[in-house]
Structure 1
């Protein structure tokens, strides 16, 4: 079984990382960058539209 991941990109410090959708809050919840602690809606951290769709479907 292949595990699905979502690519994230911090809009402030540009840190990139990947996590599984079940490790993340809903797309409208506040999320904090683990690098610079910027706070924004989770949807603003998704790197691509495909990552956002994946998060909405599986998160």
Structure 2
């Protein structure tokens, strides 16, 4: 079975990358861009609604 990965994009610097949802903080928690150090709720970095659903399912 293929492991899920979520597409992320920093709202400040627009750098894009993928992450394992299990490695991300819980929904609503603060997350930091590893490229520019901007800090926001993790949901602001997730690019798609499908990615948000996958992320939330890992933190139920």
TM-score (normalised: structure 1): 0.94
Q: How many residues align?
A: 59
Q: How does 1:1-59 map to 2 (within 5 A)?
A: 1-59=1-59
TM-score (normalised: structure 2): 0.93
- Find runs of 4+ consecutive structure 1 residues off by over 2 angstroms: none
Question: Tell me, which stretches of 5 or more residues in structure 2 are unaligned?
Answer: none
